[in-house]
Structure 1
Amino acid sequence: MCDVIVDEADQAVDLLYLDANPAATRMVGSDFRNRRLRQIDPNYEEYWYDIFGHTARTGEAQRLERYAAPDQRWYSFYISKVGDEASRHIAVIFQDITERKRAEDQQAFLFQFSDALRVQPTAETLANRALQLLADYLQLDRCYVGVYQLDQDRGEIPYQVGNDRVPPMPDAVRLSDFPDALRVTFDRTLVIEDVMTTAGLTEMDRQNIGALGLRALVASTLRMGANNPLWSIVAVSARPRSWKPHEIKLLEDVTERTWAALERVKAEEALRHSEAKYRYLADHLDQQVQQRTQELAATNEELAATNEELTASNEELESNNEEFIAINQELEETNGLLTRSNENLQTFAYVASHDLQEPLRKIRQFGDLLKTRYAESIGEELIYVERMQSAAERMSILIKDLLNFARISTRRDIDNPVSLPGVVADVLTTLELPIAELGTQIQVGRLPTVSGDAAQLNQLFQNLLSNALKFYRPGVAPSIVVSASLLPADQLPPGIKPGRDTGAYHRITVMDNGIGFDDKYADRIFQIFQRLHSKNQYTGTGIGLAICEKVVTNHGGTITATSQPGQGATFTIYLPA
């Protein structure tokens, strides 16, 4: 219970404590009844007197939180008026919420930590990013990953970050130089607050740890089976440090998350390597088939020219026929291998679509349940749930785009006549809503009919026109022009080499007035997962233009892009006439 002391202008200038319960006395550390706040804490923030005065004058209860710097604690306050309108008495209920605030801060860090690891492309960048985030958050002098090879008496240190207060760790150490420290890691997290005084270490441990420049450390180790350490993250201080329980728990959580993220990235890298190897083998097989086909054509011409000689030499003809039969069998086997490879890839795409999408659907379903449960919450729970669902949605889109890319890579039915005016009209119908919302002006010239796959060509124009709508200049209505012309092969621009030779090509351009890009990125934008803007600026997976290039290549053509920042972009497609 407090009495708010006011000046002549009825403004609060001090607080007199009238009564307090035993719990409040214990939290403050002394009996503060009948004492003034300015006497107890002369540095108390001035704005709090306005808060106390507001409640005393108006009777409006207030709920607030305050960080007390001297004792590094957080408190919540509930302030209410006591007595009649003329009274200046208030009741203050306060509670120590330091642990709750610390848990919230640590949880927010773990969310940011996981988000940061999710976008790292390689194991090295992921590990270094994880260690740097942890070192910054816990104010470490060095932080490193240790991998234990017990059968080789070797501890490897593949990743580390730190400052000059602790020298860089060697690439590897001998485990037998740290007998007691290593033994502790078999059973629990190793905690050393001061290598010179911490109990349980041998003199060899102290000397060898100190020789590395380490004074205090925590080593959180993942284990597979009893007493078999495999992988750890070590937090290091150059000075003695009293490690708090929540810091140790955070290090253990980060260790598990980092190891899991590294395993995921390594698996993705292995998958990319395998896919690259598969593409190389597939392309090599295509070249072998083409070479054998050319050899057969040359042999047939030779046979036609020497028909009389072959007729006279029946034995030689029979020998040649056996050779041709063997070659044809080899060609049939090669074609069979290619067919099975495409079927396997399509089967993989179906399995990946189902197995990868199912967990994401579960995440979104449980996210909806959480949103319903915390619908009345005023905290940050809903924000975290919405971020979780947003991340799941982005992953779902990425999987769908990857599957589209894989299907286009294996489908090459390009012998059917396709009306490009009809394709573009279908795409414009699909994009009718964003076109109307942005006030887009679209001009479509006379377009030809080409030989190709209607679904793939639809995907090509869908991606190009969607990009033109996405990357518009703010404040400027989008303008898109689609046109075509016939170009003789000998008039192709320098450097343009379509995949199929023919006498003439259809040159089709898609031009917009959007934000454009630096021309030096003209080749990079067609590479898979390449983006020129962050995901916060523009949505997307970085696969759309890679699909465009694959479609054009499947049709024996090529695609180029030209642009300047702020002046729009022009995509030019060359397809065999």
Structure 2
Amino acid sequence: MGSPDGHWQWTNVRATPVFTPAGLVSKWVGMAIDISAQKQTELDLHESEATYRTLVDTMDEGFCIIEVLFDSAGKPYDYRFLEINPAFEKQTGLTDAVGKTIRQFIPNFEEHWFERYGQIALTGVPARFEDFAVELGRYYEVYAFRVGEPEQRRVAVLFNDILDRIIARQKQEETQRQVLAFFEQSPVGIAILSGPELIFTMVNPFYLELVGRTYDQLIGEPLLDALPELQGQGFDQLLLDVMTTGQPFTNREVAVDLIRSQQLETVYVDLAFQPQYDIDRTILGIMVIATDVTQQVRARQSVEASEARLRSIIATAPAAMGLFVGRDLVVELPNQAFIDIVGKGPDIVGKPLRAIMPELENQTLLQILDEVYTSGKMFQSFGIQVNIERNGVMAHNYYNITYTPLLDDQGQTYAILDIAIDVTESIRARQKIEEAESALRGAVELAQLGTWELDVATRQVTYSDRIKSWLGVSQDEIKLNLLYNPIHEDDRQRVEASIQAAFEPGSPGLYNEEYRLVEHRTGHVRIIHAQGRVYYDDQGRPLKMMGTAQDVTQQRQLQLALEQQVQQRTEELATANEELAAANEELQTTNEDIASINEQLHSLVHDLKRSNDNLQQFAYIASHDLQEPLRKVQAFSSLLQHQYGERLGADGLDYLERMQTAGERMSALIRDLLAYSRVSTRQQTYNVISLSHILEKVLQTLEYQIQQTQAQFDIEPLPMLKGDASQLGQLFQNLLSNALKFSRKDETGVMVPPRIQIRATRVPASAIPAWAKPISMAENFHQICVIDQGIGFDNKYQERIFQLFQRLHGKSDYAGTGIGLAICQRVAENHGGTITADSQPGQGATFCVYLPA
């Protein structure tokens, strides 16, 4: 109802009807009570409850009011849900829970929750806690407080699911643990310095190991107090600069002097100073990161020192040394000797070997180097010929070469060390010695000498094949006590005494005896002239005796026969006239000359065992001392034949004819041997010459033979080249003389006029037969061929015919000494070339000379 002031009032009215006797209501009797205040309270309460419900139903946190249930012993054992909000149902998954207990949903619910809620219900003390509800699989942040009267034992629970936050926090904590573990386990030294005092706040074990300190010695200490040895090294100032400017500092291989194990030592580190900021970008400190690179630096320093030593060794080595780096063989570190050998000047460093020495392309060295680089195996060769072009001139020298592969840490070749020693002089000296020995062997064979050697230590004697044939034995060595058995018993004691005398102290060590040798199987007796010399060691003790032996049986028999005949004729002509007496005196002189010739021949054979100088001396003797006595023998034998032939008789004339024939043959041999010796030992004089001009002179020299044989020539133009005109003239004269001499006959036995062709062309080195490879390494050669239509020869002798004293025909059929073609070969070799022969019996012969173009 309304009030006078316009406000509504709430009244509680009670009325009782009053009935008439007739039972009708006559009036109402009642009372009215003002309940406005009570009604307002109710309205306020409803409004508060509506606000509460709206708040509870819309909040994100789970909310519930529970009644804690206690047993008779006063222990909480369950709780009943009195009120829940939607967030509770969503977070717990429990729906339609009002009026139900938690055990109805989860029979084995965790007991500690009952204890917590029971304590709050009894004490009224609110609580806040976090826990993981295992049965619900969630992590909750809970705030609980008692509501209602204490005896109601009700608890309001406000909770929120913080599982995601917990997981995030766990991840953050795990990250922090990992960072800390990284910090602790990092293989580099890490320290954090704070404030301008540079106080150590954190260090990891590697940093402690690096600076040689313990954790307690660093943490909380200023830098220079903890590490006083850093004073004056500038690191404190660098750190302060970083803290002031905020600019990081990095440097590599910084030398730091540190006291470690109570000793000051220098270590090398890669340093990094990184500023550390607060939230407001204020610099709080500096992170120091130090990587110990001492071993790497010292290893590099060791390598650099090794390289420096290698450079020094290479630079000062007496041998030529250099490095070939990489598969392209780039030249590095060549010393002066190497530069001199290459002959291309000092500007060869950093260039491939092929580029600076293209002349090696056609030689084997580049292939050998490639094999060394691939296989990693060392290569050595002694006395290998290398052709190197220096200042436009090709040099043909000999070297001892060593190629050593250099390997990296993985065992792979990265370079080759080349060591080369020039042995050209020793090789050529050896070649000359071999040539001299070859010539000496030829002279020994020419003189039909045998060689022998007596070893003092073993007391054994070694014989050549010729002496073994004289003795009739096959073994190479004979004991000294058996040496004298084949000697004639009348000469044996004298020979033994002569050998012993040669070994006596103070003796000149020479042995020279002539004795008779008896072949034990046939009893054949030979007269042997033996000579020897004793050789001593450094202490003057005799090592061996070496010597030669010559069968002089025929000479002694001839000498004896001549002496007997001269004696006989001398007795018969004792009463002849003075002219005959004078002739007899001349004959005596002849005998003396023959004896002199024998002595000179023996001396010559002995001298031929010496070096090349003795070979030249032999040539001189052959041209003077031998020719003159031979001319006397020939002259006096001719005089005897013409003036006293009738008195000498048929046998005497036969002897004289044999003497003249032997003398002429001996003279021809000496001339040819002299020519061969001159070709072998004389220094060549090279000039640019015309082979056509040389051939023209040779044809003039052979003009008489050409006319006698009616020879015809077909000659092509010959080239110009560098050579010795005299030697090349000898070469062509011998070839043309052979072509004229070995002419064939027709079916009637008449000599067919020779037809000789001379052809010239230019050919590559590969066209030369393999068995006749030239000395020169030139790529091209002049080929000059002399082709005849004579008797030819069997091709199996095509190499043998160039050897000394090799004859394919009897002396009675074709004159000659077997030296001419040997001279041709020697001349070709002197010019860096070679000579070949090709033929078939009866089909003529072709001799081709190859001279470098």
- Provide TM-score, normalisation by structure 2: 0.32
TM normalised by structure 1 equals 0.46
More helix by share: 1
